[in-house]
Amino acid sequence: MSETSLSLLDRLRLQPDKESWQRLVEVYTPLIQAWLRRHGVSPTDAEDLTQEVMTVVVREIPTFKHNQQPGAFRSWLRTIAVNRLRVLWRSRHMRPVATGGSDFLKMLDELEDPDSDLSRLWDQQHDHHVARRLMELVKPQFEPATWQAFRRVVLDGVKAAVAAAELNISVNAVLLAKSRVLSRLRQEIQGLTD
């Protein structure tokens, strides 16, 4: 993926390209499918709903306006998912989904409420998944030594001097590696979690 000063979200809104759409699909498809399955949606329905959610995102993202509030994008995505789940529930009202009618509606209402425990769990799982997935996707853009230095200091929490000794590089090289990877990750994650 070419380096650009625009975040993934901005690229999708302002300069959409095949690589940016692919990145969005790679990041969000597993998250949405896993979340739906954890909440009682059948695997087949989870696949279909994920496609529907992504279709809405593709169609609506050019008009998405980040309101500068933390979690604006994930909240927007959660709203889309809830709406698609409500459509599924209504379409099966005569034959309720396996999750069990009113319990399913209660779950949707709770998910829709940004202050509910379920919404906070969605937010936490979203941010964790997006950060982890973006790390996997940007890792190939760095030399192995750069990534190892970043991983040891940022993810493993060791001091730069310890990582430098382990990797047989200077402390400055460790700090530069940390800075380069974090800068790239911030660029990619901007707007998705904040």
Per-residue pLDDT of the chain (194 residues; tens, 9 = 90+): 333 345 888 888 888 889 888 988 999 999 999 888 887 788 998 999 999 999 999 899 888 887 777 788 888 988 898 888 888 777 766 444 444 556 767 877 887 888 888 888 888 888 888 889 989 989 999 999 999 999 999 999 999 999 999 999 999 999 999 999 999 998 888 777 76
Q: How far apart are CA 180 and CA 184, in angstroms?
A: 6
Chain-centroid distance of CA 157 in Å reads 23
pLDDT of the residue at 3: 36
CA distances from 10 to 5, 73, 162, 192 (A): 9, 12, 37, 10
Count of all residues that appear for the chain in the document: 194
Q: What is the pLDDT of residue 73?
A: 86
Under a CB-based contact definition with an 8 Å cutoff, are residues 8 and 192 in contact? yes
Q: How far apart are CA 37 and CA 41, in angstroms?
A: 5
The label of the residue with tokens 């760095």 reads: 142
Contact indicator for 127, 74 with CB cutoff of 8 Å: yes
Q: How high is the pLDDT of residue 4?
A: 35
Task: Judge: domain 142-194, CATH 1.10.10.
Answer: yes
Predicted confidence at residue 125, as pLDDT, reads: 87
Position 32 scores a pLDDT of: 92
What is the location of CATH 1.10.10 in the chain?
142-194
pLDDT the model gives residue 96 = 46
| Sole residue written with tokens 């990619």 | 188
